[in-house]
Amino acid sequence: MASKQEHLVCELLCPLRLPNKSRRPTWQTGSRSRPFLRLKGYTASNIRASSSSAELPDIIKQVGQSLWGKGLPPGALVGAVRSAWTSGWAIMMKQLAPSDKQGGYQRPKSKFQKRLLNPVSVSDHGRYHLYVSLTCPWAHRTAIVHALKGLGDAVPLSIAVPNETGLWEFRPHQGMSTDHHILLPTVDRAHKKARLMDVYKLTKGGYDGRATVPMLWDSFCEEVVNNESADIIEILNMEFNIFACDPQLDLAPPHLQSDIEKWNDLIYPNINNGVYRCGFAQGQEAYDEAINVLFTTLDMLEEHLASSKFLCGDILTLADIRLFTTLYRFDPVYYVLFKCSKKKLLEYPSLYRYLGEIFQMSGVAATCDLPTIMDGYYKVLFPLNPGGIRPVIPVSSHPTSLCGDDKQRAVSSSIRLSSTP
């Protein structure tokens, strides 16, 4: 007779009836109408206890062997699982990446886009607070401008990390990393909240939309000033010169303004957002279109950078920083996870030279945390990588390859190679 526990095993694992009686060697008829499966050594309670451990695949293997022996699962089962997975995937992708009718990714507009109303004065030291994450390419832009201008604690930084569902949390780095050259995650230094979402909720008038990074917070007015990276880098470049270590550095000089805008208009849709349009495409047509535009634009930039140090000549501008954060993630993340796989960045000598040029600027490498970036994509974007496996990348895509010899040791010693976040 079947025990109660064995019935529970059946409830947990075997809602399916077998189509063919002859392939039911371990099935028994239970006291209820639903058949159940006897699994050697497993009861409902030890399955529950082991459900998060490495033992689970063994149980699944046993179920499979009992159901269809050593052959492949029956076509009907594969079809059912496939259609359930596809529907689940479509639901998750809709949540992650809103799309148009063709399945093309539509990035939501930023909700807060104010500028500073009054010129910043000495008493504003620490008033504006910058929330970032090192994973995010948009937030990375703001961390770079913050570093290049040398804004330090005049504009304090809080660095968030994603939890497994993608929400930004404040989990400061624990440990003894005294010689760490890369910025580390922090607590919420302005409010001591656990999640970025809770900071957004404090803004005047309240807010319950998506809590994105980067975000610039005004601690006097208790409100979000801006959560659009393209605006925040302009604000950081212009407004805080009284505190900046390098006030002379102007990343958007007036004589290059129209040139910068021209590059931004091309690079944002085709490259910065272009890689996301490839990775978040929910249909072949949308992907094909995005990949074409992406690589046509990269080809064009390669040609331009063959004879120009930066996008606008010899001067580094905000347009370069906007391009840099996408290029930095290209081979380790977008090439694999977002299927931007027509060519590697390494195959573009001028773009690769340009990437190294910016990486080596003072303060930039400290904002480039490749292991954290990789975990933030491969382990968090579940619908794109359900197994959460973080792939190995070639040494040539490693940041150490972006440095001159003299700098290699300093940077490589600062890279956390462990896959633990």
Lay out the site mask for ligand GSH across 110-129 (x = CB under 6 A, - = otherwise). Answer: x-------------------
Contact call for residue 212 and ligand GSH (CB under 6 A): yes
Tally of CB atoms within 10 A around 232: 26
Contact call for residue 229 and ligand GSH (CB under 6 A): yes
**Judged by CB, which is closer to ligand GSH: 59, or 161?**
161
Identify residues 94-113 at the interface with ligand GSH (CB under 6 A): 110
Is 136 in the active site? yes
Selected binder of ligand GSH within 27, 128, 138, 287 (CB under 6 A):
138
| Nearest approach, Cβ of residue 127 and ligand GSH (Å) | 21
**Judged by CB, which is closer to ligand GSH: 110, or 186?**
110
Contact call for residue 228 and ligand GSH (CB under 6 A): yes
Contact call for residue 158 and ligand GSH (CB under 6 A): no
**Judged by CB, which is closer to ligand GSH: 132, or 355?**
132
| Nearest approach, Cβ of residue 25 and ligand GSH (Å) | 49
| Nearest approach, Cβ of residue 330 and ligand GSH (Å) | 15
Contact call for residue 264 and ligand GSH (CB under 6 A): no
Q: Is the peptide bond before 137 cis (omega within 30 degrees of 0)?
A: no
Contact call for residue 324 and ligand GSH (CB under 6 A): no
Identify residues 373-392 at the interface with ligand GSH (CB under 6 A): none
Is 352 in the active site? no
Size of the site for ligand GSH (CB under 6 A): 10
Two structure tokens written together for 304: 């331009």
| Catalytic pick among 10, 136, 278, 340 | 136
**Judged by CB, which is closer to ligand GSH: 136, or 251?**
136
List the catalytic residues: 136, 276
Binding site for ligand GSH (CB under 6 A): 110, 136, 138, 210, 212-214, 227-229
